[in-house]
């Protein structure tokens, strides 16, 4: 079968049973090829969007990790210093409890900031979903 080009339309050719089937076959082949290409392009768009969102998630996860590690190191060292400092004015057990409460508040603040940052990450490829909806509308009404 020969492929149709925009410069050589077959509208004016005589309609024989064989030619009509060939034209329908070519049209179906062209539509199938176009749909396959469209689906490949949509898949590439989805991959690009997911990569972008994964980058955001990676940065947020890095902040969680950094906050956790820094918080751990600071907590250990400052807890010891604060406990021994407070032990000069009160029992060591109470000093440890007070310092632990302070670090619990700091940990809560860091957690909330990380959670807020993570909420800005979108797991859905929004642009791809929108273009797929548009493609479906076009497929239903290609001339409209």
Place of tokens 């021994």: 84
Q: For residue 19, what are its two tokens?
A: 């030619």
- Mean pLDDT calculated for residue range 20-40: 82
> How many CB atoms within 10 Å of residue 125?
21
What is the structure's pLDDT at 2? 45
Query: Has residue 21 got a pLDDT over 80?
Result: no
Query: Has residue 11 got a pLDDT over 60?
Result: no
Query: Has residue 95 got a pLDDT over 80?
Result: yes
Select from 65, 72, 94, 95 the least CA-distant residue to 83.
Answer: 95
Phi, psi angle pair for 15, to nearest 5°: -95, 100
Q: 42: helix, coil or strand?
A: helix
Q: How is the chain split into domains, by residue range?
A: 29-123
32-90: pLDDT as tens digits: 888 889 888 988 888 888 888 888 888 899 999 998 899 888 878 878 898 999 999 99
**With bands split at pLDDT 50, 70 and 90, how would you rate the model's confidence at 1?**
very low
Round the average pLDDT of the chain to a whole number and report it: 80
Q: Return the percentage of the chain with pLDDT > 90, whole number.
A: 16
What is the structure's pLDDT at 102? 85
């Amino acid at each position: 079968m020969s492929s149709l080009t925009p410069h050589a339309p077959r509208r004016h050719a005589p309609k024989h049973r064989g030619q009509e089937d060939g034209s329908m076959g070519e049209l179906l082949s062209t539509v199938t090829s176009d749909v396959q290409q469209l689906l490949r392009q949509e898949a590439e768009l989805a991959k690009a969007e997911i990569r972008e969102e994964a980058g955001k998630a990676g940065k947020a996860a890095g902040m969680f990790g950094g906050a956790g590690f820094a918080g751990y190191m600071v907590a250990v060292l400052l807890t010891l210093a604060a406990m021994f400092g407070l032990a000069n004015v009160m029992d060591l057990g109470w000093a440890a409890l007070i310092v632990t409460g302070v670090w619990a508040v700091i940990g809560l603040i860091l957690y909330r900031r990380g959670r807020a940052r993570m909420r800005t990450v979108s797991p859905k490829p929004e642009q791809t979903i929108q273009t797929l909806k548009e493609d479906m509308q076009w497929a239903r009404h290609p001339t409209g």
